[in-house]
């Protein structure tokens, strides 16, 4: 059992998992303490391991460890060792590379211009190919994560170039999704891939600049949100202030729509949209599109709550907490045995019998991945005496895997890839099941509908239309890149 199993809700086990959170600070005092707090706010983006690298004008300091931020960065002795006015931090749930300490980020290397630390949220889709080419040219890799490729490409870039030029040169060769924060002896750099798939925001705290995956991480230290780093933008922060460049060929942005559905914290603001409000609007659209006569709207905690509020408001059906979460189950309470793991659902959540008995219930959840958890929840609600159970899902059916920094099960394990909605309803055991349409999702995001010629978001896990080439996957399959290829993919 890994740390995530111990601390996330058992209802979260059957979810797509965001892979990483990144945080950087330049200026002011106690950079490492701020980074630790920022990472604490980003813990939902990855629970397997975390690290911070700081710089005090003379040398770099590093602490990396498996486990949670609070387990590894709450002692004064650790934070005091991480001296300096600048720091970069990372919390991870691995997309590529095993959970070995050497894969824990920020990765650090001594390059000819000095120390270089990098924290990456996203996933490179041609990293395997680049890695093979680099190894053939003599590069020696220490870790198995895709991010190390960037460091090797920088090391090989022309020595006459500046550090920024070398970073850009490296990034021109990679494909995939990345929001990077890099720390050098002079500067903190932030960069988003040209499509801006993963988030990165800029904040300010006095004279200090903050870069973070989400605004909730700058909020925790009292920093003001300034703006999102734009897709394809590189910012360089140093003693002279902040400088911005757009070194890549401009492309239409394709921000990950799943950030709004599930990944981001509801109190964050991403790309100018409040996540909580976006989730409520999805619930409202869902109610308009997929109404059902019932007595109660009940969220699947915690991720289904904002969409349920929206559904209840739009349908006029009362919102009730029909499933109660116990917030006081300590991590150490659960022993890693199959028996207790099974009990885990009841340890952390219980159906609220007094509310559910004899009622027609609409359960609202954000997504269905394998469907295993949905089945357990439905059975728990029925056991509590619900007369009818209808399920409404605040995303379209998840039919495809993600390759851009999100851990998705094999396509063969995605319930919606294998069954139509009616069959899914039978398997989960509900009286009815319905998902928001892709156009409904876009409407909730403020668009008229999804423009198939130019979709505003990455929505590949719902549509199979991957906006960034999947070189490694194509090579693995030995076929050309097309939507059909992924429609037929059974193994990721």
Q: Interface with ligand SF4 by CB under 6 A: which residues?
A: 16, 197, 256-258, 402, 404, 406, 458-461
Q: Please identify, using beta-carbon distances, which residue of 44 and 376 lies nearer to ligand SF4.
A: 44
Instruction: Name 116's Cβ contacts closer than 8 Å, sequence gap at least 6.
Output: 108, 109, 110, 151, 154, 163, 182, 183, 184
- Write the CA distances from 80 to 32, 130, 140, 393, 421, integer angstroms: 8, 38, 33, 46, 55
Q: Please identify, using beta-carbon distances, which residue of 319 and 404 lies nearer to ligand SF4.
A: 404
Q: Is 101 helix (H, G, I), strand (E, B) or coil?
A: helix
CB of 123 to ligand SF4, least distance (A): 9
402 included as an active-site residue: no
Tokens read off for 182: 């890099």
Cβ contact 128:475 at 8 Å: yes
The one catalytic residue among 20, 182, 402, 458: 20
Best CA proximity match to 50, nearest among 68, 62, 34, 37: 68
Best CA proximity match to 173, nearest among 159, 196, 155, 160: 155
Q: Please identify, using beta-carbon distances, which residue of 35 and 256 lies nearer to ligand SF4.
A: 256
Sign of the dihedral through C-alpha 180, 230, 408, 403: negative
CB of 258 to ligand SF4, least distance (A): 4
Q: Please identify, using beta-carbon distances, which residue of 245 and 490 lies nearer to ligand SF4.
A: 490
For 341-375, give the DSSP string.
Answer: HHHHHHHHEEE-HHHHTT-EEEEEES--SSSHHHH
Q: Residue holding tokens 């719902």?
A: 462
Q: Residue holding tokens 């889709």?
A: 125
The residue nearest ligand SF4 at its CB is 402
Tokens read off for 482: 């097309």
Best CA proximity match to 24, nearest among 76, 91, 69: 91
- Rounded to 5°, the CA angle 391-393-398 comes to 125
CB of 6 to ligand SF4, least distance (A): 24
Burial class (CB in 10 A: 0-12, 13-18, 19+), 75: exposed
Which residues share a beta bridge with 23? 89, 212
Q: How far is CA 190 from the centre of its chain?
A: 18
Q: Please identify, using beta-carbon distances, which residue of 233 and 459 lies nearer to ligand SF4.
A: 459
Q: Please identify, using beta-carbon distances, which residue of 16 and 362 lies nearer to ligand SF4.
A: 16
CB of 404 to ligand SF4, least distance (A): 4
Q: How far is CA 173 from the centre of its chain?
A: 24
Q: Please identify, using beta-carbon distances, which residue of 179 and 308 lies nearer to ligand SF4.
A: 179
Cβ contact 125:172 at 8 Å: no
Cβ contact 296:363 at 8 Å: no
State the DSSP code for 137: T
Q: Is 299 helix (H, G, I), strand (E, B) or coil?
A: strand
User: What distance in Å separates the CA atoms of residue 168 and residue 145, rounded to the nearest whole number?
Assistant: 20
Q: How many residues are given for the chain?
A: 492
Q: Please identify, using beta-carbon distances, which residue of 356 and 416 lies nearer to ligand SF4.
A: 416
Q: Please identify, using beta-carbon distances, which residue of 6 and 406 lies nearer to ligand SF4.
A: 406
Instruction: Name 99's Cβ contacts closer than 8 Å, sequence gap at least 6.
Output: 2, 48, 49, 66
User: What distance in Å separates the CA atoms of residue 350 and residue 384, rounded to the nearest whole number?
Assistant: 9
Q: Which residues are catalytic?
A: 20
């Amino acid at each position: 059992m890994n740390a995530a199993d111990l601390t996330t809700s058992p209802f979260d086990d059957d979810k797509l998992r965001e892979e990483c959170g990144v945080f950087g600070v330049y200026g002011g005092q106690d950079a490492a303490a701020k980074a630790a707090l920022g990472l604490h706010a980003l813990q939902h983006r990855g629970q397997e391991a975390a690290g911070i690298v700081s710089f005090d004008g003379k040398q770099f300091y590093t602490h990396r460890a498996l486990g949670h931020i609070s387990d590894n960065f709450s002692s004064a002795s650790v934070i005091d060792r991480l001296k300096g006015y600048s720091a970069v931090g990372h919390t991870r749930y691995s997309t590529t590379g095993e959970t070995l300490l050497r894969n824990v980020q920020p990765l650090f290397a001594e390059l000819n211009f000095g120390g270089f630390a990098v924290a990456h949220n996203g996933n490179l889709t041609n990293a395997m190919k680049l890695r093979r080419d680099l190894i053939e040219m003599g590069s020696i890799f220490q870790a198995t994560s895709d991010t190390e490729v960037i460091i090797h490409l920088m090391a090989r870039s022309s020595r006459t170039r500046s550090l920024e030029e070398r970073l850009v040169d490296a990034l021109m060769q990679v494909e995939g999704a990345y929001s990077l924060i890099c720390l050098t002896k002079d500067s903190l750099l932030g960069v988003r891939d040209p499509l801006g798939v993963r988030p990165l925001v800029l904040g300010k705290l006095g004279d200090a600049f903050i870069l973070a995956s989400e605004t909730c991480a700058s909020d925790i230290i009292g920093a003001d949100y300034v703006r999102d780093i734009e897709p394809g933008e590189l910012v360089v922060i140093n003693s002279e202030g902040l400088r911005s460049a757009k070194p890549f060929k401009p492309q239409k942005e394709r921000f990950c729509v799943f950030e709004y559905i599930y990944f981001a914290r509801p109190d964050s603001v991403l790309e100018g949209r409040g996540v909580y409000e976006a989730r409520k609007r999805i619930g409202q659209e869902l109610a308009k599109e997929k109404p059902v006569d019932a007595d109660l709207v009940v969220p699947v905690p915690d991720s289904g709550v904002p969409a349920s509020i929206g559904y209840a408001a739009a349908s006029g059906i009362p919102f009730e907490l029909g499933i109660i979460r116990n917030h006081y189950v300590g991590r150490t309470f659960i022993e890693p045995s199959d028996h207790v793991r099974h009990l885990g659902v009841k340890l952390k959540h219980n159906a609220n019998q007094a509310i559910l008995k004899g009622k027609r219930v609409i359960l609202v959840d954000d997504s269905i991945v394998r469907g295993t958890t949905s089945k357990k929840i439905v059975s728990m609600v029925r056991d509590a005496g619900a007369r009818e159970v209808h399920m409404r899902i605040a995303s379209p059916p998840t039919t495809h895997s993600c390759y851009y920094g999100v851990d998705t099960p094999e396509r063969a394990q995605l319930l919606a890839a294998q069954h139509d909605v009616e069959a899914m309803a039978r398997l989960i055991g509900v009286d009815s099941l319905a998902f928001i349409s892709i156009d409904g999702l876009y409407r909730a995001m403020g668009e008229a509908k999804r423009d198939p010629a130019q979709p505003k978001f990455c929505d590949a896990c719902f549509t199979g239309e991957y906006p960034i080439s999947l070189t490694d996957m194509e090579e693995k399959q030995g076929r050309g890149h097309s939507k059909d290829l992924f429609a037929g993919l059974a193994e990721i």
